[in-house]
């Protein structure tokens, strides 16, 4: 809600038209309950225009600004103060209003640290291989040096750029060994435990087949990898990692957490993990990397409630049962009574065939409870998107389905025995169909929705 107390936040850069920052900040502001309201807008500022832009922003009472290309370093002389790590990096991306001007931070670095923690892989005492030596690698290597890694290897196509970055990092992180070289030298790592952060722009959409390293041995020797590119959702680098059996994640969480860190600084608040991930869900949608999702599970497992949460975040939900009722003009109970179960199952298969291969960014199918029973349907469901089995125990299902008269398979009383029977028939097929299983007994629908979309 915009009112007389609303704070203005924004982004300065050139160009700014394609930025995803407003999506994250405005979502955080929308869903942040109990705080002051804020609105986030992009401001195009040409090269050479930062001094005037900062003066104007301060005069207008603008609370905070993000800074992007080409101003991340150019803005530094005009700040009231600068955070020590941002100073060492030589670039800022976040300006917070101080008494007489703005204070600069680098939340690309702190956001990367938070993303790495969310990925959950240990870095302490390990060697880090950083691919690339551009602006983003700068923030990444300084962040890594503060996380207890034993050594940092910076590889780059242009070795001089890697050497220059290694020299400035060595100055700052005196107890971390830093090396630099070209990709021809990566085999020097193979005798130690190392993880990889991919910081080049190779593999970024639309050139999605690119990967800066070709050597299969590299992936076989690495512990795990993070690609800071986030589009496509699964980059070629990640595919190569996963093909070698190594965990890999993309850069969307870094993008999210640099914004969350900036928002916390702008507003002097703390954003809970649930709120951050809700903003992350909107971000996936707006970045065009929200791969289709299929919710499977027994009746009462929460598919509808979870779908409703996803709908609120902007996802397009198709409920298979409701769609069949709409198309046939009959309730499921009536289809069962007049045409029999087989006719209903045929309708389900027909619907899945229509959807297979056509589902896009942000699509969610809430599957019928019995859909995965047919083998043909299991394959179709898996083709439509990431299948998530919402698993619930008998007592949870009984509690949720008590008094429900819309389910033909539950007609005639003896709810607990019927649910036990359905579960014993279907548990194995749900497991065969699922790409991911979530135990939902102790979770709210919102928590489940966010878990499905977490990175
Ligand atoms: P940059 O300053 O332009 O640096 C580009 C890097 O990619 C350099 O190391 C460059 O090597 C390398 N590179 C480009 N084309 C190459 C090729 N054909 N072969 C080998 N190396 C090549 O860009 P940046 O700001 O660091 O951004 C890099 C990537 O990170 C972008 O894709 C960006 O979208 C992504 N990023 C993500 C986040 C996030 O929050 N997830 C934040 C910032 C950036 P040379 O030095 O040899 O040219």
Identify whether 53 is part of a domain. yes
The catalytic residues are 72
Question: What is the pLDDT, as a whole number, of residue 287?
Answer: 95
Identify whether 158 is part of a domain. yes
Q: What is the mean pLDDT of residues 280-298?
A: 95
* Cβ neighbours of 7 (radius 10 Å): 18
Phi, psi of 295 (to 5 degrees): -95, 125
Shared domain for 94 and 205, answered yes or no, is: no
Ligand 1 lined by 152 (C-beta under 6 Å): no
Shared domain for 142 and 185, answered yes or no, is: yes
Shared domain for 363 and 403, answered yes or no, is: yes
Residues 206-221 as b or e (16 or more Cβ within 10 Å = b): eeeeebbbeeeebbeb
The residue contributing the CA closest to ligand 1 atom 21 is 157
Q: Tell which of 246, 271, 300 closes a domain.
A: 246
Question: What is the pLDDT, as a whole number, of residue 224?
Answer: 98
Q: How many domains does the chain have?
A: 3
Ligand 1 lined by 258 (C-beta under 6 Å): yes
Ligand 1 centroid to 49 CA: how many Å? 25
Question: What is the pLDDT, as a whole number, of residue 33?
Answer: 58
Identify whether 112 is part of a domain. no
The string of pLDDT tens digits covering residues 428-447 is: 999 999 999 999 999 999 99
Q: Say if CB 294 and CB 436 are below 8 A apart.
A: no
User: Residue 167: CB partners within 8 Å, gap ≥ 6?
Assistant: none
CATH number of the domain within which 373 lies: 3.40.50.300
Pairwise CA distance, residues 103 & 93, whole Å: 11
For ligand 1, mutation pick of 132, 162, 248, 279 (most atoms within 8 Å of CB): 132
CATH number of the domain within which 205 lies: 3.40.50.720
More confident residue, 33 or 8: 8
Percent of the chain exceeding pLDDT 70 equals 99
Identify whether 240 is part of a domain. yes
Shared domain for 303 and 268, answered yes or no, is: no
Shared domain for 302 and 446, answered yes or no, is: yes
* Beta-sheet strand order (sheet of 363-366): 316-319, 363-366, 293-296, 386-391, 436-439
Shared domain for 11 and 98, answered yes or no, is: yes
Ligand 1, atom nearest to 230 Cα: 41
The residue contributing the CA closest to ligand 1 atom 31 is 201
Q: What is the mean pLDDT of residues 42-67?
A: 98
Percent of the chain exceeding pLDDT 90 equals 90
CATH number of the domain within which 273 lies: 3.40.50.10860
- 11 pLDDT band, cuts 50/70/90, is very high
Identify whether 1 is part of a domain. no
Identify whether 116 is part of a domain. no
Ligand 1, atom nearest to 253 Cα: 41
Structure token pair of residue 151: 């050594």
The residue contributing the CA closest to ligand 1 atom 1 is 134
3-state SS, the chain, equals CCCCCCEEEEEEECCCCCCCHHHHHHHHHHHCCCCCCEEEEEEECCCCCHHHHHHHHHHCCCCEEEECCCCCCCCHHHCCEECHHHHHHCCCCEEEECCCCEEEECHHHHHHHHHHHHHCCCCCCCEEEEECCCHHHHHHHHHHHCCCCCEEEEECCCHHHHHHHHHHHHHHCCCCEEEEECHHHHHHHCCCCEEEEECCCCCCCCCCCCCCCCCHHHHHHCCCEEECCCCCCCCHHHHHHHHCCCCEECCHHHHHHHHHHHHHHHHCCCCCHHHHHHHHHHHHHHHCCCCCEEEECCCCCCHHHHHHHHHHCCCEEEEHHHHHHHHHCCCHHHHHHHHCHHHHHHHHHHHHHHHCCCCCCCEEEECCCCHHHCHHHHHHHHHHCEEEEEECCHHHHHHHHCCCCCCHHHCCCCHHHHHHHHHHHHHHHHHHHCCEEEECCCCCHHHHHHHHHCC
When the pLDDT of each residue in the chain is averaged and rounded to a whole number, the result is: 95
Ligand 1, atom nearest to 111 Cα: 40
Residues 57-86 as b or e (16 or more Cβ within 10 Å = b): bbeeebbbbbbbeebbeebbebbbebbebb
Cα-based distances in Å from 345 to 262, 319, 333, 369:
51, 15, 13, 11
The string of pLDDT tens digits covering residues 340-351 is: 999 999 999 999
- 168 pLDDT band, cuts 50/70/90, is very high
Shared domain for 237 and 259, answered yes or no, is: no
The residue contributing the CA closest to ligand 1 atom 23 is 134
The string of pLDDT tens digits covering residues 396-416 is: 999 988 888 777 777 777 889
Shared domain for 388 and 311, answered yes or no, is: yes
**Which residues form the domain of 237?**
122-246
Identify whether 413 is part of a domain. yes
The residue contributing the CA closest to ligand 1 atom 8 is 134
Question: What is the pLDDT, as a whole number, of residue 44?
Answer: 98
Ligand 1 lined by 366 (C-beta under 6 Å): no
Ligand 1, atom nearest to 138 Cα: 26
Shared domain for 142 and 261, answered yes or no, is: no
pLDDT exceeds cutoff 80 at 35: no
Ligand 1 centroid to 348 CA: how many Å? 46
Question: What is the pLDDT, as a whole number, of residue 406?
Answer: 79
Shared domain for 193 and 216, answered yes or no, is: yes
The residue contributing the CA closest to ligand 1 atom 9 is 132
Ligand 1 lined by 156 (C-beta under 6 Å): yes
Ligand 1 centroid to 114 CA: how many Å? 20
Q: Tell which of 194, 224, 246 closes a domain.
A: 246
Shared domain for 39 and 154, answered yes or no, is: no
Identify whether 385 is part of a domain. yes
Shared domain for 29 and 154, answered yes or no, is: no
Question: What is the pLDDT, as a whole number, of residue 32?
Answer: 59
């Amino acid at each position: 809600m915009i009112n007389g107390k609303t704070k203005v936040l924004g982004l300065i850069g050139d160009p700014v038209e394609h930025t995803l920052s407003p999506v994250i900040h405005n979502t955080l502001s929308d869903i942040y309950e109990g705080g002051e309201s804020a609105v986030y807008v992009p401001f195009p500022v040409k090269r050479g225009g930062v001094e005037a832009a900062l003066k104007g922003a301060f005069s207008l009472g603008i609370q905070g600004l993000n800074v992007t290309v080409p101003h991340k370093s150019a803005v530094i002389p005009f700040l009231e103060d600068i955070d020590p790590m941002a100073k060492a990096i030589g670039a800022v991306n976040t300006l917070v209003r101080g008494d007489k001007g703005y204070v600069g931070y680098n939340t690309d670095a702190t956001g990367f640290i938070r993303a790495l923690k969310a990925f959950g892989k240990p870095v302490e005492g390990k060697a880090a291989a950083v691919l690339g030596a551009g602006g983003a690698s700068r923030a990444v290597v300084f962040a890594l040096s503060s996380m207890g890694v034993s050594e940092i290897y910076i590889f780059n196509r242009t070795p001089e750029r890697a050497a220059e970055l290694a020299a400035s990092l060595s100055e700052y992180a005196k107890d971390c060994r830093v090396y630099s070289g070209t990709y021809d030298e990566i085999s020097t790592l193979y005798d130690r435990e190392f993880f990889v952060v991919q910081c080049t722009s190779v593999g970024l959409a639309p050139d999605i087949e690119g990967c800066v390293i070709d050597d299969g041995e590299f992936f076989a020797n690495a512990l795990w990898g993070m690609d800071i590119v986030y589009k496509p959702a699964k980059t070629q680098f990640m595919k190569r990692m996963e093909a070698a059996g190594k965990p890999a994640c993309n850069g969307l969480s870094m993008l999210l957490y640099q914004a969350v860190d900036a928002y916390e600084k702008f507003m002097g608040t703390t954003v809970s993990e649930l709120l951050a991930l809700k903003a992350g869900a909107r971000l996936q949608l707006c970045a065009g990397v929200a791969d289709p999702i299929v919710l499977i599970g027994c009746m009462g497992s929460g598919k509808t409630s979870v779908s409703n949460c996803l709908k609120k975040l902007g996802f397009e939900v198709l409920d298979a049962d409701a769609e069949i009722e709409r198309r046939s003009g009959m309730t499921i109970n009536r289809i069962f009574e007049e045409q029999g179960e087989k006719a209903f199952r045929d309708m389900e298969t027909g619907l899945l065939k229509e959807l297979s291969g056509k589902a896009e960014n942000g699509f969610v199918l809430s599957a019928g409870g019995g859909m995965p029973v047919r083998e043909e349907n299991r394959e179709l469901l898996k083709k439509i998107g990431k299948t998530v089995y919402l698993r619930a125990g008998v007592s949870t299902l009984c509690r949720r389905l008590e008094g429900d008269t819309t389910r033909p398979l539950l007609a005639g009383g003896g709810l607990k025995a019927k649910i036990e029977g359905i579960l014993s028939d279907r548990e194995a097929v749900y497991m065969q169909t699922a790409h991911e299983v979530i135990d939902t007994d102790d979770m709210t629908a919102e928590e489940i929705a966010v878990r499905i979309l977490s990175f």
